[in-house]
Amino acid sequence: MTSAKRFNGNLMDQFLKNGRSIILAYDQGLEHGPSVDFDNRNVDPSFIVEIASKGGFSGLALQKGVAERYYDGKVPLIVKVNGKSNLVKGEPVSRQTCSVEYAVSLGAKAVGYTIYLGSEHEAEMFAEFGKIQEEAHERGIAAITWVYPRGAAIANDTSKEIVACAARTALELGADAAKIKYTGDTQSFSWAVRSAGKTKVFMSGGPKAPTNDAFLIQVRGAIDAGATGVAVGRNVWQHAEPMKMADLLRQVVFENLQIPAMSKPAA
Ligand code: FBP
């Protein structure tokens, strides 16, 4: 089989509407610990699963334990197949926690894998993702990588150069989509999008922004730079009105709404 035949550019299609996408991420309980991000409302995975469907999200990213117990089949599922806590210090490494086969059995239409680019352990994650990507494609599902520059070698994880490097890493490792941090402006982020080639780019959210606009300006900037969409968590499910934020996100990503037209105080 030729490499051109091996590449199936359609694996992300079920996460797209007119080429755009909004993915809801909910793996922070493992990554950060429940006391950091959760309150009485959003500690319950059912709350997030409902936001995903009622809020019109294009995809939902969960670790396998949450997917097993709470996923309702309404929104295309991404199962994160690696993870780590933030308790261990030093150079970050995140190892595989779920097989591709098991993710598929849970209903996954894609697997998600975090790579800490620049970590002393990046080679382990490259190798592990390499196998996962091949197996995902053999099983006909997409392989998405969260590429986060991290570790002592990384001075600035949102510089134009390092974010483009993250995007390019995803392309070269065969990811169908890359979840990367925003550089801060459209022009510099467009270099990351260019660097990703046929790998689709999703902007990562980060901690909840102080105002709606502060967050949506980033989303607008990423979309204007050519990103496919966003893969965000806290800015939605920590919002006082998650449905309102979901609605704003849909308008910006799918309807090209400009931010000044919807300036509102933070909830
Ligand atoms: P947020 O939008 O809440 O930042 O979620 C995106 C995400 O990539 C999660 O999938 C993941 O758990 C978390 O951010 C990782 O955060 P950190 O950058 O602190 O490792």
DSSP code string of 205-263: --SPPSSHHHHHHHHHHHHHTT--EEEESHHHHTSSSHHHHHHHHHHHHHH---GGGG-
Contact in structure between 200 and 243 (CB atoms under 8 Å)? no
Q: How far apart are CA 134 and CA 215, in angstroms?
A: 35
> Atom 5 of ligand 1 has which residue's CA nearest to it?
233
160 in contact with ligand 1, CB cutoff 6 A: no
| pLDDT score at 257 | 87
- For residue 6, what pLDDT is reported? 80
Q: Considering the chain, what percentage of its residues have pLDDT values greater than 70?
A: 96
C-alpha span between 125 and 122 (Å, rounded): 5
Tell whether ligand 1 has an atom less than 6 A from the beta carbon of residue 205: yes
Residue 267 has pLDDT above 60, yes or no: no
The one-letter amino acid code at 166 reads A
pLDDT band at 261 (very low <50, low <70, confident <90, very high): very low
206 CA distance to ligand 1 centroid (A)? 6
261 vs 59: CA distance, rounded Å: 27
Ligand 1 contacts CB of residue 28 (under 6 A) = yes
Mean pLDDT in residue range 141-167: 98
For residue 112, the ligand 1 atom closest to its alpha carbon is: 10
Contacts of 258 (CB under 8 A, 6+ apart): 220
Our answer on whether the CB atom of 146 is closer than 6 Å to any ligand 1 atom is yes
Residue 122 is inside which H or E element, if any? Answer: helix 122-138
Does the pLDDT at position 103 exceed 50? yes
179 is catalytic: yes
Per DSSP, the chain holds a count of helices (H) and strands (E) of 12, 10
Q: Which residues pair with 148 in a beta bridge?
A: 116
Considering only CA atoms, which of 51, 55, 54, 58 is closest in space to residue 75? 58
pLDDT, average across residues 55-75: 98
pLDDT bucket at 259, cuts 50 / 70 / 90: confident
pLDDT reading at 169 higher than 80:
yes
pLDDT at 40: 98
Is residue 15 in contact with ligand 1, taking CB distance under 6 Å? no
First to last CA, the chain: 54
The predicted structure's pLDDT at residue 260: 67
Beta bridge partner(s), residue 120: none
Predicted confidence at residue 143, as pLDDT, reads 98
> Which of 64, 179, 181, 200 is labelled catalytic?
179
Residue 12: band (very low, low, confident or very high) from pLDDT cuts 50, 70, 90: very high
Give the integer Cα–Cα distance in Å for 15 and 28. Answer: 21
Instruction: For residue 174, give the DSSP letter.
Output: T
User: Is residue 196 within a helix (H) or strand (E), and if so which, with residue range?
Assistant: helix 186-196
Percentage of residues in the chain having pLDDT higher than 90:
93
How far is ligand 1, taken at its centre, from the CA of residue 114, in Å? 10
Average pLDDT over residues 172-199: 98
Measured from the Cα of 86, ligand 1's closest atom is: 20
What is the 125 CA–ligand 1 centroid distance (Å)?
Answer: 17
Mean pLDDT computed over 227-247: 98
CA distance 233 to 55: 13
What is the residue whose two structure tokens read 């197996």?
135
> Which residue is it, tokens 């800490």?
116
How many angstroms separate the alpha carbon of residue 28 from the centre of ligand 1? Answer: 6
Q: What is the pTM of this model?
A: 0.95
User: Which atom of ligand 1 is found nearest the CA of 61?
Assistant: 10
Catalytic residue among 26, 113, 116, 148: 148
Tell me, what's the pLDDT at 263? Answer: 47
Catalytic site includes residue 148: yes
Q: Tell me what the pLDDT averaged over the chain comes to.
A: 95
Q: Which of 26, 31, 48 to mutate to test the pocket of ligand 1 (most atoms within 8 A of CB)?
A: 31
Nearest-CA neighbor of 177 among 5, 17, 21, 51?
Answer: 21
